[in-house]
């Protein structure tokens, strides 16, 4: 990927949590790049490190978490080296994040309109709530909150779950960021509202030329909005490629397993869960981290962790962390 086209360039990122039980390597050497205006899906089971990766990008790690290695370059600047004051100036303005549960994101004691306008005041784009009001009403209309004039003064408990999520998206878009990180934004919603939110995000992305990092455990959801997909397991990326290619022909055994868990009316196939569980991050297996669950495991899988191997996959390339695609290995 040409350097001049990159908005976000993550190299060798390692984020760890330190506790009395030991060190949790939540993100363990992740490389990912995102172009301006592109939507990239990051998928995997719960506990694989997706949300920690997102929080690392925003430098919003919970207590005990620390970036210990690697670089996060946004518009060519290393975010890992920035001070907290410099990060506050970026958050909400250049980079925004939408979390899974709007009930824990929205303040129940504040009117929704005031909360949507808060980023505008925080970044000096409006001095008062009244000055922010026209932009807030515009945002509420853009995310299809009905009757913005009336809803502006309501509290979160007066909104449905879908409308609360729309309000969070409106607040995230207030300052017209270049990058929107969506961390499981539709998981708590029913399928109809979920589809509406995905259509909304796709429409806003196309209209504003905004890049989206969309995090989910659901490959079906990601397929609706993303051009590329990265699959994550035990803190590592195991497959990256064009979304349509990865979903049509997954190469890594873990990606294949995830797709077998997705219901399909047309295929009428039996759902088959991946055997076993995501490994304990305090006691990761040697070699390939997926080897205890892999149907194609070999002796070398237990001895050495594979690199990301490049596989031709027009119109781009596929990267797969699996010895089955090591062309230099003996057959």
Give CB contacts under 8 A, 24+ apart, made by 187-195. 187/100, 187/216, 187/217, 187/218, 188/100, 188/101, 188/161, 189/161, 189/162, 189/165, 193/161, 193/162, 193/165, 194/221, 195/224
CA angle 223, 227, 311 (to 5 degrees): 100
Among the three residues 112, 147, 176, which one is the final residue of a domain in this structure?
Answer: 176
The answer to whether position 257 is within a domain reads yes
> pLDDT-derived band of residue 192, with 50, 70 and 90 as boundaries?
confident
The answer to whether position 331 is within a domain reads no
Higher pLDDT, 19 or 74: 74
Among the three residues 120, 153, 176, which one is the final residue of a domain in this structure?
Answer: 176
Query: Looking at the structure, do residues 86 and 207 belong to the same domain, yes or no?
Result: yes
The answer to whether position 30 is within a domain reads yes
Q: Look at the chain and report how many structural domains it folds into.
A: 2
Query: Looking at the structure, do residues 250 and 132 belong to the same domain, yes or no?
Result: no
> pLDDT-derived band of residue 329, with 50, 70 and 90 as boundaries?
low
The answer to whether position 21 is within a domain reads yes
Alpha helices in the chain (DSSP H): 50-58, 84-90, 102-105, 112-122, 129-142, 148-151, 161-173, 191-208, 219-223, 243-248, 253-260, 299-303
3-state secondary structure of 147: coil
How does the average pLDDT of the chain come out, rounded? 90
Please give the pLDDT value at position 219: 85
- Least confident span in 100-109, 155-164, 167-176, 261-270: 261-270
CATH number at residue 75: 3.40.50.300
The answer to whether position 330 is within a domain reads no
Query: Looking at the structure, do residues 268 and 133 belong to the same domain, yes or no?
Result: no
As a whole number, mean pLDDT of residues 121-136 equals 93
Percent of the chain with pLDDT strictly greater than 70 = 95
Question: Sheet containing 228-233: which strands, arranged edge to edge?
Answer: 95-98, 179-183, 211-216, 39-43, 228-233, 236-242, 316-320, 309-313
Query: Looking at the structure, do residues 134 and 268 belong to the same domain, yes or no?
Result: no
Query: Looking at the structure, do residues 60 and 164 belong to the same domain, yes or no?
Result: no
Q: How do residues 160-184 score in pLDDT, each as one tens digit? A: 988 999 999 999 999 999 999 999 8
Residue 111 lies in domain: 102-176
d(CA 161, CA 244): 30
Query: Looking at the structure, do residues 218 and 120 belong to the same domain, yes or no?
Result: no
Please give the pLDDT value at position 197: 86
> pLDDT-derived band of residue 221, with 50, 70 and 90 as boundaries?
confident
> pLDDT-derived band of residue 101, with 50, 70 and 90 as boundaries?
confident
> pLDDT-derived band of residue 139, with 50, 70 and 90 as boundaries?
very high
Q: Whole-model pTM?
A: 0.92
The answer to whether position 243 is within a domain reads yes
> Nearest Cα to 324, choosing from 285, 292, 288?
288
As a whole number, mean pLDDT of residues 214-222 equals 88
Query: Looking at the structure, do residues 169 and 197 belong to the same domain, yes or no?
Result: no
Query: Looking at the structure, do residues 233 and 306 belong to the same domain, yes or no?
Result: yes
Query: Looking at the structure, do residues 8 and 29 belong to the same domain, yes or no?
Result: yes
Query: Looking at the structure, do residues 220 and 313 belong to the same domain, yes or no?
Result: yes
Phi, psi of 163 (to 5 degrees): -70, -35
Query: Looking at the structure, do residues 207 and 297 belong to the same domain, yes or no?
Result: yes
Among the three residues 176, 195, 211, which one is the final residue of a domain in this structure?
Answer: 176
Q: Which residues pair with 208 in a beta bridge?
A: none
Please give the pLDDT value at position 34: 96
Please give the pLDDT value at position 331: 47
As a whole number, mean pLDDT of residues 87-107 equals 89
Please give the pLDDT value at position 1: 54
Query: Looking at the structure, do residues 216 and 283 belong to the same domain, yes or no?
Result: yes
């Amino acid at each position: 990927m040409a350097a001049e086209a990159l908005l976000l360039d993550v190299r060798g990122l390692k984020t760890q949590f330190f506790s009395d039980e030991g060190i949790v390597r939540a993100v363990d050497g992740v490389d990912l790049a995102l172009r301006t205006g592109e939507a990239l899906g990051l998928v995997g089971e719960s506990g694989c490190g997706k949300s920690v990766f997102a929080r690392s990008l925003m430098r919003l790690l919970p207590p005990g978490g620390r970036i210990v290695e690697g670089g996060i370059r946004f518009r060519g600047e290393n975010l890992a080296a920035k001070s907290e004051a410099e990060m506050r100036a970026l958050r909400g303005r250049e980079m925004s994040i939408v979390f899974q549960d709007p009930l824990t994101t929205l303040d129940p004691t504040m009117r929704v309109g005031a909360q949507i306008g808060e980023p505008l005041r925080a970044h000096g784009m409006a001095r008062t709530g009244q000055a922010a009001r026209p932009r807030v009403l515009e945002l509420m209309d853009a995310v299809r909150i009905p009757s913005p004039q009336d809803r502006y003064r309501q509290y979160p408990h007066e909104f449905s779950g879908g409308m609360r999520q729309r309000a969070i998206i409106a607040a995230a878009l207030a300052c017209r960021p270049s990058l929107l990180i969506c961390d499981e934004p539709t998981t708590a919603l029913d399928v109809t509202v979920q589809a509406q939110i995905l259509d909304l995000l796709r429409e806003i992305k196309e209209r504003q030329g905004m890049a989206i990092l969309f995090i989910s455990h659901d490959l079906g959801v990601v397929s609706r909005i993303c051009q590329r997909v990265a699959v994550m397991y035990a803190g590592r990326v195991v497959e990256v490629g064009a979304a349509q290619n990865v979903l049509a022909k997954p190469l890594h055994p873990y990606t294949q397993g995830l797709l077998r868990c997705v219901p399909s009316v047309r295929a009428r196939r039996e759902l088959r869960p991946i055997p076993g569980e995501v490994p304990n991050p305090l006691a990761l297996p040697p070699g390939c981290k997926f080897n205890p669950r892999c149907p194609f495991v070999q002796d070398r899988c237990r001895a050495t962790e594979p690199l990301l191997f490049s596989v031709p996959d027009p119109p781009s390339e596929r990267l797969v962390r699996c010895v089955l695609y090591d062309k230099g290995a003996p057959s």
